[in-house]
Amino acid sequence: MAGTEWVFSYGTLRLADVQRGTYGRLLDGEDDRLVGWTLQYLAISNPEVVALSGVAEHPVAVPTGDPSDAVAGTRFHLTAAEMAATDVYESADYVRVPVVLASGVAAWLYVAK
């Protein structure tokens, strides 16, 4: 898709309600993995995000550098406007960083601030 970027989701961006509320549509994604990372949990400070996702703690990817660690998730193609909407959804507690997934695809990843 021209003018799109990959985002790797391992958490609430994979939920149908979050996708409808954030993008107004359901996303098509592809399974992928993030090698050298593990998951922890983060208390979410934005009540609107908690209401949309239905959970007060969201997973957060943390780098370990250990190739035996991996986070399973989904990569989604998003337009520039959808990336901006994702930044708003994640902005209270996460920041976007570039990563390369197990598939070799470069993607954006949201990690704790």
Contact indicator for 63, 36 with CB cutoff of 8 Å: yes
User: What CATH number has the domain spanning 4-112?
Assistant: 3.10.490.10
Q: 96 or 89, which is more confident?
A: 96
30 bridge partner residues? 75
Give how far Cα 54 sits from Cα of 2, 29, 79, Å: 33, 22, 25
Structure confidence by residue, pLDDT tens digits, 33-59: 999 999 988 777 778 876 877 777 777
pTM of the complete model? 0.85
Contact indicator for 113, 97 with CB cutoff of 8 Å: no
Q: 2 or 16, which is more confident?
A: 16
